[in-house]
């Protein structure tokens, strides 16, 4: 018998809770940290262990499915054909290391490039965001309402402060200046989940990877939000790029400031 999306989603959630328990245990011990591209790009053995945990569980339960994760436990993916799991074992590794909170596990399942399942688990707060395509988005099993429409002047915008001092500062500063306020949480997955729950009205980033936004995009679609590149073009689940996530009217207003 082929597993239904609902069954796959329930199974994935069980694995994520188990992975979350492993992460909590790891936080009581010493964590080995390495730098990837530089001192602001870190990975720990926990990131790698948790990705391997998902890869083993998924390959055993669903041998025909493909796997795409940040830490390279599986081969790099070049096609979205078939069923693809897109996994970020710890989104917000800097928070994991420095704050021991404010990080999430992000798991998405795509079929032929279409997002079917989106799961984001805030491990330390025990907040589980989940969505199945066409069946709504939930926080800890409570259905989330469609997000409210807001103007930028009444919006709280999530943005990594680092983007406001770089070469793209001018356009982004204008958005932040016009907004009611801005926040930097340090986990793209959680910031997308916060847009879905109306805690943030928008989230923007200049450079993210598919595992950062794959699950968030499925959840946001279920609450009537848009998640695209900053220029409004569709997200790629194979290539890196920018992200703008918000309700549809605000999405348009922010893009007007960016041009």
Pairing of strands 83-91, 241-247: unpaired
Per-residue string for binding with ligand 2AM, 19-58, x by CB under 6 A?
------------------x--xx-----------------
70 is in an annotated binding site: yes
SS3 135: coil
Per-residue string for binding with Ca ion, 152-191, x by CB under 5 A?
----------------------------------------
Q: Which of 9, 88, 122, 222 binds Ca ion (CB under 5 A)?
A: 88
CA 26 to chain centre: 22
Q: Which residue has the tokens 């220029």?
A: 231
Asked if 244 is part of the footprint of ligand 2AM (rule: CB under 6 A), the reply reads no
Q: Which is nearer to Ca ion, 201 or 209 (CB)?
A: 209
8 is in an annotated binding site: no
56 is in an annotated binding site: no
Collect all residues with Cβ–Cβ distance below 8 Å to 86 and sequence separation of at least 6. 68, 69, 107, 108, 109, 110, 210, 211, 214, 215, 237
Q: Which stretch binds ligand 2AM (CB under 6 A): 87-95, 118-126, 134-142, 222-230?
A: 87-95
Cβ neighbourhood burial of 138 (10 Å; 0-12, 13-18, 19+): middle
The binding site consists of: 70, 88, 90-91, 212
């Amino acid at each position: 018998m082929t597993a239904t999306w609902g069954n796959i989603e329930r199974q994935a959630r069980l694995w994520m809770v188990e992975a979350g328990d492993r992460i909590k245990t790891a936080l009581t011990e010493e964590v080995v940290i390495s730098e990837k591209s530089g001192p602001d790009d870190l990975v720990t053995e926990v990131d790698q262990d948790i990705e391997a945990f998902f890869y083993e569980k998924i390959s055993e339960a669903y041998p025909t499915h493909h796997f795409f994760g940040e830490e390279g436990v599986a081969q790099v993916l070049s096609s979205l054909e078939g069923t693809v799991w897109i996994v970020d074992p710890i989104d917000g590794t800097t928070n994991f290391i420095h704050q021991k909170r404010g990080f999430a596990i992000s798991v998405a399942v795509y079929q032929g490039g279409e997002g079917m399942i989106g799961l984001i688990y805030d491990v330390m707060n025990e907040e589980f965001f989940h969505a199945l395509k066409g069946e709504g988005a939930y926080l800890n099993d409570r259905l989330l309402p469609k997000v409210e429409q807001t103007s930028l002047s009444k919006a709280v915008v999530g943005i990594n402060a680092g983007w406001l001092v770089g070469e793209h500062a001018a356009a982004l500063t204008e958005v932040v200046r016009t907004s009611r306020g801005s926040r930097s949480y340090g986990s793209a997955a959680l910031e997308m989940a916060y847009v879905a729950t109306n805690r943030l009205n928008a989230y923007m980033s200049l450079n993210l990877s598919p595992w950062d936004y794959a699950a968030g995009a499925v959840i946001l679609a279920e609450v009537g939000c848009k998640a695209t590149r900053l220029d409004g073009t569709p997200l790629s689940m194979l290539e890196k790029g920018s992200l703008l996530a918000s309700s549809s009217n605000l999405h348009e207003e922010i893009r007007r400031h960016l041009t």
